[in-house]
Amino acid sequence: MDWYYVDNGRRIGPVDETTLDILVRAGAIGAGTLVWHDGMADWQPYAAARVEGTAAPGSAATTLRYAGFWIRVVAKLVDSAILWAAGIALAFTAAPLMGGPDAKPLSAFMDGGQHPLLLLVQVAAAAAYSTAFIGRYGATPGKMAAGLKVVTPDGGPVSYGTALCRYFGEILSSVILGIGYLMVAFDVQKRALHDRICRTRVVFK
pLDDT digits (tens, 9 = 90+) for 66-119: 999 999 999 999 999 999 898 788 777 766 655 555 555 555 455 544 567 777
Domains, the chain, ordered by start: 2-63 (3.30.1490), 69-204 (no CATH)
- Please report which helix (H) or strand (E) contains residue 29, including its range: none
Q: Has this prediction a pTM greater than 0.75?
A: no
Structure confidence at residue 102 (pLDDT):
52
Q: Helix, strand, or coil here: 161?
A: helix
pLDDT in tens, 154-197: 788 999 999 999 999 999 999 999 999 999 999 888 999 999 99
Q: Are 64 and 79 in contact (CB under 8 A)?
A: no
Rounded to an integer, what distance in angstroms lies between the CA atom of residue 59 and that of residue 62? 6
Query: How buried is 161 (Cβ within 10 angstroms: 0-12 exposed, 13-18 middle, 19+ buried)?
Result: exposed
C-alpha distances (whole Å) from 57 to each of 32, 84, 134 are 17, 45, 30
Sequence-separated (6 or more) residues with CB below 8 Å from residue 104: 95
What percentage of the chain exceeds 70 in pLDDT?
Answer: 82
Find out whether the peptide bond into 116 is cis, omega within 30 degrees of 0: no
Q: 143-160: b or e for each residue (b if 16 or more CB lie within 10 Å)?
A: bbebebbbbbbbbeebee
pLDDT surpassing 60 at residue 14: yes
